[in-house]
Amino acid sequence: MRPRGGFMVDDDLLVNEFTYNGFKDAIRLGYSLDDAFLREIKIPVHDLARHTLIVGSTGSGKTTTAAVLASQLVNYGSVLIIDWNDEYFQLLNNLGVNGGLVVNDNVRLPGTLGDWEDFITILDDVLELTDAQAYLLYKLHDEFGKLDELSVGDLITLLESMQPESKWMLETKASLLRKLKMLYNVKTRHLYNVDKTLMNDPLLIERKINIISLRDLRDLKIKRLAALTLVCFIEKIKKLKTLGNVYIVIDEAHNVIDSNLLNRLIAEVRKLGIGFILVTQSPAVINNSILSNCNVRIFHSLKSYADIDIAVKSLGVNELRDVLPRLGVGEAVIDAPSFNGAVRVKICAKQYPVT
């Protein structure tokens, strides 16, 4: 039986209901480990629209925590999960989400991004273009005019038809084509969506969690391309369609965290109603701009001195230096704008009734 004013966690633990500042729309995470009585910890949904970071060493409970967030955020908008290791379907099922799940394990990369600047930024992020290669792409743009609806395949065709004016250009053209063909070739062609109409894409559905499984893409470059084109695509869809809030979970975020595109989106999309939930092992790989743009910070157990140092500085509480390496699986130190300070929390990976 569920007692009034509290809820049962694990088998026999009663947690006191506690709502920060009386917020009704909040995500229930678990209970505080700092208090003498078990105080329930919730994060108001609007805090999560201002980006969330989940970090912790291997096996500390990051993916489970992200799934707990996703399982409840679906009540407040659309959720898209970039799933590198095929973990979320099972986890969300265990958390009682099934009717609201769409699993997309036959992922197609958007046929075009509609926007030349973003397209080049992503190619640069994924292929690590040299200055000469990037210059050649801009030259192509100048020569052929508006290239906004281009796909990777179209770009290869266009580049092949370009007449090099000098030896360096000839060499750069050949090296750029080699790189582009790593992304688009006879073996990978079927991974791209032939439909170039942005509006037709059912990626975002209100009150649904769409899990994009990257497992079958195999090659890391193509996985990165897929993750980046998909989030960029969501920004475009969100600008065009009337949609509620969108939450994008990127697990294994270290694979894309240094991307210029992701950095731009994290700084800009908040006002569009898109909240990122970034999940990664080490805060040391995250640049300051991303760190300062993530208002909810969930630190699971950290082991390395460099990681602990960054976490402690980011939380502004030196006493946590000894706490962070000793956290158990599923325990975390959490800070959010609506909290009065960092809280040590046991995340309860269970099905929560809708608040």
Ligand X SMILES: Nc1ncnc2c1ncn2[C@@H]1O[C@H](COP(=O)(O)OP(=O)(O)OP(=O)(O)O)[C@@H](O)[C@H]1O
The site for ligand X (CB under 6 A) is made up of: 56, 58-64, 281, 329-330, 347, 349
DSSP string, 234-297: HHHHHHHS---EEEEEETTGGGTTT-HHHHHHHHHGGGGTEEEEEEES-GGGS-HHHHHH--EE
Q: How far is the CB of 129 from Mg ion (least distance, A)?
A: 31
User: Nearest approach, Cβ of 279 to ligand X (angstroms)?
Assistant: 7
Q: How far is the CB of 251 from Mg ion (least distance, A)?
A: 6
Q: What's the distance, CA 209 to chain centroid?
A: 13
Report the run of H or E that residue 212 belongs to, with start and end.
strand 209-213
Instruction: Measure the CA–CA gap between 95 and 73, rounded to whole angstroms.
Output: 13
* Least distance (Å) between residue 72 CB and ligand X: 14
CB nearer to ligand X: pick between 255 and 281 = 281
Residue 330 binding partner per list Mg ion, ligand X, none, with a CB distance cut-off of 5 to 8 Å that depends on partner kind: ligand X
Nearer to Mg ion, 44 or 56 (CB): 56
Q: How far is the CB of 95 from ligand X (least distance, A)?
A: 11
Residue 274 phi, psi dihedral angles, 5° rounding: -115, 125
CA distance 42 to 69: 10
Interface map 57-96 toward Mg ion (x if CB under 5 A): -----xx---------------------------------
Q: What residue number has its CB nearest to ligand X?
A: 330
Select from 151, 237, 253, 251 the least CA-distant residue to 199: 237
Q: Which residues on neighbouring strands pair with residue 28, listed in sequence order?
A: 42
Taking CB within 5 to 8 Å according to partner kind, which of Mg ion, ligand X, none is near residue 32? none
| Residue with smaller CB distance to ligand X, 174 or 329 | 329
Applying CB under 5 A, the residues found at the interface with Mg ion are 62-63
